[in-house]
Amino acid sequence: MAFHIKKTNFSKDVFYKGNSIWTDEYADRKSYSSNSLAQDDIDEMSSPLINNLARPKVTGTIVEE
C-alpha cells in the first residue's frame, strides 16, 4: 500500500510534495511506502529548527491510497 499526506487550507485540499512544500496538484504529492515513513515527515516538519526555534505543529493527515 502507498500513503500520502494531505491537509485542508482555506477549504482546499493540498498534498505534501516534500522539502516543506505543499501543492494542490494530486499528481505532485510525495508517496510513501508505509504509514510510519509519512509520520516521520510530519514529525520532522514539526520539530524545532536551528537554535530550538519553534515551528507550528503540522496537522496533515496520512491517507492510504
Q: Where in 1-65 does DSSP place strands (E)?
A: 3-9, 12-18, 21-23, 61-64
Residue-range definition of the domain harbouring residue 16: 3-64
- Res. 19 pLDDT band, cuts 50 70 90: confident
Burial of 15 (0-12, 13-18, 19+ CB in 10 A): buried
- Res. 55 pLDDT band, cuts 50 70 90: low
pTM above 0.85, yes or no: no
In the chain, the number of structural domains is 1
Q: Which residue has the cell 500520502?
A: 4
